[in-house]
Structure 1
Amino acid sequence: MFRKARTVLGVVVAGCTVLATAVAPASAAAPEAGCRVTYTVKGQWQGGFTADIAVANLGPALDGWELKWEWPTGQQLGHGWNAQVSESDDAVTAKNSGHNAKIATNATVNFGLNGTWGHANTAPLSFSLNGVTCVHGGPSLTAMEHTAAMQPGWNLGNTLDATGPDETSWGNPRVTEALLDNVKAQGFKSIRIPVTWGQHQGPAPDYTIEADYLARVEEVVRWALARDLYVMINVHHDSWQWMVKMPAEHDRVLAQFNSLWKQLTPAFTEYGPKLMFESWNEPQFAGSTGKPQEIALNAELNAAFHDIVRKSGGNNATRLLVLPTLHTSTEQQYVDPLVEQIRGLNDPNLIATVHSYGYWPFSANVAGGIRYDATAQQFDTDSFDRVHNSFIAKGIPVILGEFGLLGFDRHTGTVEQGEKLKFFEYVGYYARTKKITTMLWDNGQHFDRTMFQWKDPELFAHIKSSWTTRSATASTDQVFTAKPSAITARTVTLNLNGAKFSGLYNGNIALSRGRDYTLDGDRLTLTASALTKLSGSRTYGVNAVLTARFSQGVPWRFYVITYDTPVLGNATGTTEKFEIPMDFRGDQLATMEAKYDDGTFAGPHDWTSFKEFDKAFAPNYTDRKTELKAEFFTNVKDNQRVTLTFHYWSGTKVSYHVTKSGSAVTGTTA
């Protein structure tokens, strides 16, 4: 969607192994027996390393052998033992010694070497034994087993899929091996690498991919595979840049698409089963005759992709291929045609992919969808049920190639923290129960790619917990007390999700059950005396943070907040810059309504009075103002008063009037 890195020590640390299995380079339907190479770094220090190489012969007995590979990151050979080892540029050749020339079928020979390295010590991915290519691989698994082993996954978003001249065009730094080390350290087993190719292709009829760009994509793929991550590459934003025109330019789009995959397949033939190809991202078309044509065009492109990859031979003959529904939608009308196509292709190595960003009003915070309520949760339940029943129950694995919240495209504050956590907790849990592999969409807003830290650790804690268990949540994470009023007890409902409540804490201090709080089933009540003590001098804003702990999963936080009715001020400005003075006085803005005096709805999305958070309006708590965006005024009538109703999380509502006249805007308190 859309400090300099530390010195990289490389992935190949002591005890780390890279397996390789040989296949014949012909276009056979299945790989032939050959060899398996296990490359293990036994020791590594600054600038040097020692490696052990085990060569298992899976084919006919050998009398004399020669193993070849290339260093991926410029390592240099020192000397070897139990083999005659030599190097030319980055290419290494190891020949048998006299005592180990013979390798029986299923027997293994070992030799070792030492060498030096500079910026990185990435493991070799490709070996050849007596001219037969050995590739990075692993155990033989079914597509369903591979897909399960990919859980959980992460997206390298807004990087190689950027539509500018290079991978930094959308503000993210260049990918480093250190980033991939840290992504793996978070517990991810797979990485989706979206790639946009169109701006790196030459003109018709060849549509030649820039050699440097293809080499860069291949470099990142190698780095990820060397870390034993599953890797998925695709054709990404090309979907809306040029593929969208297929209804009107069918032959041209198909020719460019085919040319693209015909160039990619030979570049990646040597890689083993942990590299997979995804046909294209979020299929969409403009100017079609309707959904039936769009479904047919998506099927045509999926079929062309499948045919090109399979005919390219080598490991591509059995490589896992990922096919999307139209729009990567979970709707039944788009799911069914892909089920039919995959079953018709009669290929055991196909995977279906869909995306899910949840119930749109909640995901974007529009139309009053401020809470992850029963409606929003049912949307996710229904989506995953359809996907499971349509694909997985019929033996077709599914990858949720992207998931998240649409509001995150701007910033992660569009959706309130507690509601956000409830969404991710449930989506992770329910997808897991339906055997759907999830890949978090991250365009740089979640995992910091230079500091290698989560920008919202609490959010990631809930995401990670959902991979294995459930976490308890609550009806809210905010406990408001109005400053002008005496403090009274407050009750919230716990969503235990199978957990048992074990205690309530203020920092590391346990609150006293009975005196500070009571628990009646799932109803947690904070007493007036406890809230009075926690609120202290009752300054506006958060006075205390409480933590509810449970028998499993992640604790839940409650923010004790003192507030008063926000105070708004008169303002003048333009449609490009209009800001309402707003002293929030401890409260927080949830949503905004906009209506004309006759009761009709003003602003964008004129089918609802509730406008889209951060797109039509945006609060600024530091500068104590709320901006009305240019997009809001684009859809406001001239010289007609609009009454805005600001809804705050405390439940308070405040009205305000704005009038647009040309580009001038005036605002007054109601």
Structure 2
Amino acid sequence: MRHPPRLSALFTGAALVMASCAFAVMGTASGAAAAPLCTVEYSVVGQWAGGFQGAVTVTNNSSALNGWSLGFGFPAGQTVSQGWGAKWSQAGAAVTAVNEGWNATLGTGASVTAGFIASWSGANTAPSTFTLNGTPCNTDPGPTPTPTPTPTPTDPTDPPDPVSGAPVLSVTGNRLTDQNGATRRLLGVNRSGAEFMCVQGHGIFDGPVDDASVRAIADWEANTVRIPLNEECWLGLDNIKPEYRGTNYVEAVKGLVDRVLTHGMTPVVELHWTYGQYTGNSSGCADVHASCQKPMPDAQYTPAFWTSVANTFKNDQRIVFDLFNEPYPDRATSTTAQAWTCWRDGGTCPGIGYEVAGMQDLVDSVRATGARNLVLVPGIAYSNDLSQWLAHSPTDPTGNLAAAWHVYNFNTCSTEACWDATLAPVAARVPLVAGEIGENTCGHAFVDRVMAWFDARTLSYLGWTWNTWNCNSGPALITSYDGTPTSFGIGLRDHLRALN
């Protein structure tokens, strides 16, 4: 999001390939074949030269299990290199996925999803035979014996209870899940300031970020706070005043992150403003320094920024990384294809005069540190276009990527018809987080529609912004840091409270 005038100087070449081998379970009538004791849906989530990401969803149609083991064989020499959601092993063609401690219970009718990265060559033929604890899946089990009742202390079909406080978030299929396997949503606000105050020479944050002000966010029943950052201030470049750069800046950000966690909320640290001179279409400023939103991250400093941020926070996986605020290479390049290639691969991009760091570069920088934190990857057109996100998404060895999207009433994709056409397919495959939602009307009719669409699909959203600006010059949620809402913010506040 651009700020009010007082605040600113106003798989390489790979497309994701679906190879779904889903098995439907049909209801049975008298004389019909019985339902399989277990069913498995296998899919190739993404494929590139020599490798692919796969997923399996297992449904237990029999009695409850306390511990499970999925078995299948690869028919074309594929080899699993790593996985998540289960303990993966392979002997020859035979692959085994054994439950983790947190998802060992698999009740009657319950499902569990696990994912993996594997290599392939020649053909990537899907497996056709699966077993669950040795029992064949997706086949008629024959006559059903009379079961012996086994008392259980709790209903095994109940969904897992969410962990208390801020969770460690993982991607499970198209959901965000916590350590217990419970589905989670990121619902909250943005706390703007650290992206612009330091580069403008006014401080580090815009307004207080003490315990009382963070508690006021929690009082709205928010569970997430997104914190925009400035790469020059974090890295301590000498164009920033000494008191607002380097260690002073980093320690201030860490302090806010700690207070957000203390109040049980998820911190999302996000890169907002970056280095690199861009004066082309829709330029926010002519300055080479990180004083406005640039169309893409720069190769000179942004990978170093994410290496430093990831090293700072990698030992606490409750913290989420949001790679770049609002890419708009589509405004600089002449074709959408060029924009998406620039977005993913970086390098020399048409219309952008500096060397670009692509989304793959940034994912690689984070993962090279050993960080396994959830990473949010935005689209193009100021993060409002996800139409080719699935076809160009970066590869991640941890499988812990989610799509990030922004929407305001003045954006191109601001109707339910557009969301149905371009967002729904993404949300069906990966978790989707609306990192910024807002409107410039000082009302909340538009964000009410956004929240309704996202609620119906159990998706995440964060309001812009927890700052006391005039809501006519940019969406501002509050008039006071005690949490008093604007006429725009009251819509988000009341909605969050109604959800809890």
Give the TM-score normalised by the residue count of structure 2.
0.52
Residue 441 of structure 1 corresponds to 464
SS of equivalent to 2:415? helix
- Work out which of the residue numbers 399, 411, 414 in structure 2 matches 1:348: 399
Q: CA deviation at 1:347?
A: 4.5
1:429-468 superposed matches below 5 A:
429-442=452-465, 443-444=467-468, 445-456=476-487, 460-461=490-491, 464-465=494-495
Residue 253 of structure 1 corresponds to 298
Residue 223 of structure 1 corresponds to 259
- Distance between the aligned counterparts of 1:187 and 1:304, measured in 2? 35
- Work out which of the residue numbers 392, 402, 415 in structure 1 matches 2:436: 402
Q: CA deviation at 1:295?
A: 1.9
Q: Count residues in correspondence.
A: 301
- Distance between the aligned counterparts of 2:247 and 2:205, measured in 1? 23
- Distance between the aligned counterparts of 2:219 and 2:381, measured in 1? 32
1:134-533 superposed matches below 5 A:
138=167, 141-143=170-172, 144-146=175-177, 149-157=184-192, 159-165=193-199, 172-199=206-233, 201-202=235-236, 210-238=246-274, 242=276, 244=278, 253-272=298-317, 274-285=318-329, 287-300=332-345, 301-313=358-370, 316=371, 318-331=372-385, 334-336=386-388, 338-342=389-393, 344-345=395-396, 347-359=398-410, 379-394=414-429, 396-405=430-439, 407=440, 412=442, 420-442=443-465, 443-444=467-468, 445-456=476-487, 460-461=490-491, 464-465=494-495
Which gives a bigger RCO, structure 1 or 2 (Cα 8 Å, sep 6+)? 2
- Distance between the aligned counterparts of 2:384 and 2:311, measured in 1? 32
- Distance between the aligned counterparts of 1:404 and 1:190, measured in 2? 16
* Contact 2:231–2:301, Cα closer than 8 Å, also in 1: no
Q: CA deviation at 1:246?
A: 11
- Distance between the aligned counterparts of 2:363 and 2:401, measured in 1? 9
- Distance between the aligned counterparts of 2:280 and 2:300, measured in 1? 11
After superposition, what is the alpha-carbon deviation per residue over 1:241-289, rounded to whole angstroms, capped at 9, x for unaligned? Answer: 5375799x999921211111122111112212x2110110101247545
Aligned-residue CA RMSD (Å): 4.0
* Contact 2:404–2:432, Cα closer than 8 Å, also in 1: yes
Q: CA deviation at 1:385?
A: 1.5
| Runs of 5+ consecutive residues of structure 2 not aligned to the other structure | 4-81, 88-101, 103-164, 282-287, 289-294, 346-357, 469-475
Q: CA deviation at 1:163?
A: 4.7
Q: Measured at CA, do residues 437 and 138 of structure 1 come closer, stay the same or move farther in structure 2, by a change above 3 Å?
A: closer
After superposition, what is the alpha-carbon deviation per residue over 1:474-510, rounded to whole angstroms, capped at 9, x for unaligned? Answer: xxxxxxxxxxxxxxxxxxxxxxxxxxxxxxxxxxxxx
SS of equivalent to 1:264? helix
AA partner of residue 309 (structure 1): V
Q: CA deviation at 1:186?
A: 0.7
Q: Measured at CA, do residues 449 and 237 of structure 1 come closer, stay the same or move farther in structure 2, by a change above 3 Å?
A: farther
SS of equivalent to 1:255? coil
Give the TM-score normalised by the residue count of structure 1.
0.40
1:53-132 superposed matches below 5 A:
none
AA partner of residue 325 (structure 1): G
Q: Measured at CA, do residues 235 and 171 of structure 1 come closer, stay the same or move farther in structure 2, by a change above 3 Å?
A: closer
Q: CA deviation at 1:234?
A: 1.2
* Contact 1:193–1:234, Cα closer than 8 Å, also in 2: yes
Q: Measured at CA, do residues 32 and 227 of structure 1 come closer, stay the same or move farther in structure 2, by a change above 3 Å?
A: farther
Q: CA deviation at 1:339?
A: 0.9
- Distance between the aligned counterparts of 2:297 and 2:228, measured in 1? 23
* Contact 1:321–1:349, Cα closer than 8 Å, also in 2: yes
- Distance between the aligned counterparts of 1:234 and 1:446, measured in 2? 19
Report the identity percentage: 14
